[in-house]
Chains A and B, each alone.
Chain A
Amino acid sequence: MTAAAPATTNVRASWLLGFWHSAIGKKAVMAVTGIFLFVWIFLHMAGNLKVYIGPEHYNAYAGFLITMGAPLLPAKGALYAVRALLLIAVWLHIQAATQLTLMNRRARPVGYANRDYVSAGYAARTMRWGGVIIVLFVIYHLLHLTFGTVHPDFIEHDVYHNFVTGFQVWWVSAFYIVANLALGMHLYHGLWSMFNSLGLSHDRFNSWKRGFATVFALVVTLANISFPIAVLIGVLR
């Protein structure tokens, strides 16, 4: 095979773009942004566990998030930097997913009259609609507990109060539980398949991938679901 001239002329500027244009490149981007989003979700969950220690600790933790990085950074500096990164990661994750989904729909314009799944589990088959549920939930979640727009009794900087009064509405809690089950399913498949998207396969640790994804999906989901339940049964008041 002799080295043929590359298809594009301005390769210097476009190699990164070319990587993004390939489906494997997009999957790698989805894996990297997915890892970032997962780490954030894990820390978000871990931070919220402080609600069980008491209102003072929980509110102090919320205060720390505002002053995080001081005195190097101004108040909310690090917080907004992380939020900006999250927005970029979510954007890339969803754009890649949407484009790949359309590519896959095009690859099979005529479906089967009946098809059977041999190995694809429920989590794998619901990644796309599960993702949609998660996005809708995140929008509600921000309006509910970050901006307080849809919160019935929102007090700025008293996050413990907002947390408890927010979850005392039963259907809000129900929505949180459903959304976190969807998140758990998404993580169950995503945390497993990201290794393959990044080409990480090795006989020694391949058998650990499934366990890794299961444990972290379970920990995040159970902890997150415990919050509304704890309020509803009166453990947190």
Chain B
Amino acid sequence: MDLTLQVWRQASRTAEGKFVTYEAKDISPDASFLEMLDVVNERLTERGEQPIHFEHDCREGICGSCGMMINGIAHGPAGGTATCQLHMRHFKHGDEIRVEPWRARAFPIIKDLMVDRSPLDMIIQAGGFISVNTGSAVEANTLLIPKAVQDRSMDAAACIQCGACVAQCPNGAAQLFTSAKVAHLGLLPQGQPERYERVVRMVEIMEEHFGSCTMYGECEAVCPKEISIDFIARMNRDYIAAKFKNRKSEANG
């Protein structure tokens, strides 16, 4: 199939960027979106031009490295998929495809389609962990966790930190990401001791960098792991509860 791409090219964080049009001819419908870009890049390199920069690693939808706005939708039109798992059979011969990087103040462009997503790491550093002495693994049946709780925690833990929720959100909010990280620990017994401290710390860092939630539901719709916005409600509940629970201890501290 033959396609016309309009790709955002930007040489560096501070450089002016612009859309550049590329013809992508003879693309296999079985190629992934990234493989299609590889073909285009191969031809650019042969012509002595700079290839299009984009982030990628596992190419099997589990690492969270790749991601771009494809025709105005994060990770493209397929739904429930990362860009690497989006196949060209979702497009038609002759299609024009516009490719843009994630856009948010918190995600400055490094080059072309590659952005710096460090603020997501900062949210994790603020509380996305449990404090335990590491050592040999604990016997698995020491802590019994109901199956329904395990499943829900795993639904949240499926987040691969790709940033599509932020990119798609009209408010540039990272609520879906943060709420998933808050929930996957907050649901399990191991996460209880720091449950309320954790949500406050993570939300505070989140709000320094990102927008706020108005329940558009866009994040849920593009999330490659189909994480539910119900986790956002859960985070709000824990945050509000934390503010009331902690006010005495904070005042005495």
Contacts and interface: CB of A to CB of B under 8 A. Distances in A.
A1 B127 contact: yes
A24 B251 contact: no
Nearest to A96: B212
A101 to B, nearest CB: 9
B62 interface: no
A189 B215 CA distance: 9
B216 A112 contact: no
Interface in B227-253: 229-230, 232-241, 243, 247, 250-251, 253
A11 B241 CA distance: 17
A223 to B, nearest CB: 26
Nearest to A21: B207
Given A6-B250, A6-B253, A112-B69, A24 B239 contact: yes
A5 interface: yes
Contacts of B197: 1, 3
A27 B236 contact: yes
B66 interface: no
A6 to B, nearest CB: 5
B136 interface: no
B112 interface: no
Contacts of A11: 247, 250-251, 253
B211 interface: yes
B215 A103 contact: no
Contacts, number: 153
Interface string B142-176: 00000000000000000000000000101111000
Interface size class of B (residues with CB under 8 A): 35 or more
Interface string B190-226: 0000100110000110010111111111101110000
Interface stretch (B24-32, B53-61, B83-91, B96-104): B96-104
Interface string A15-39: 1001100111111100000000000
A53 to B, nearest CB: 39
Given A11-B251, A12-B251, A117 B218 contact: yes
B14 to A, nearest CB: 13
Interface SS majority for chain A: helix
A206 B220 CA distance: 15
Contacts of A195: 233
Contacts of A27: 212-213, 236
Given A22-B204, A112-B69, A116-B72, A107 B230 contact: no
Interface in A84-130: 100, 103-104, 106-120, 124-125, 127
A199 B240 contact: yes
A196 B8 CA distance: 36
Nearest to B220: A119
A49 B211 CA distance: 42
A190 B218 CA distance: 16
Contacts of A216: none
Nearest to B243: A19
B253 A5 contact: yes
A19 B240 CA distance: 8
B73 interface: yes
B240 A24 contact: yes
A189 B234 CA distance: 19
A112 B167 CA distance: 10
A1 B132 CA distance: 9
Given A15-B251, A107-B211, A198 B218 contact: no
Interface string B66-88: 00010111000001000000000
A197 interface: yes
B131 interface: yes
Interface in A153-202: 189, 192-193, 195-201
Nearest to A117: B218
Interface of B: 8, 19, 69, 71-73, 79, 98, 100, 103-106, 127, 129, 131, 168, 170-173, 194, 197-198, 203-204, 207, 209-218, 220-222, 229-230, 232-241, 243, 247, 250-251, 253
- 9 tightest Cβ-Cβ pairs between the two chains A and B: A199-B237, A107-B172, A107-B211, A201-B233, A23-B212, A116-B72, A193-B215, A104-B171, A120-B216
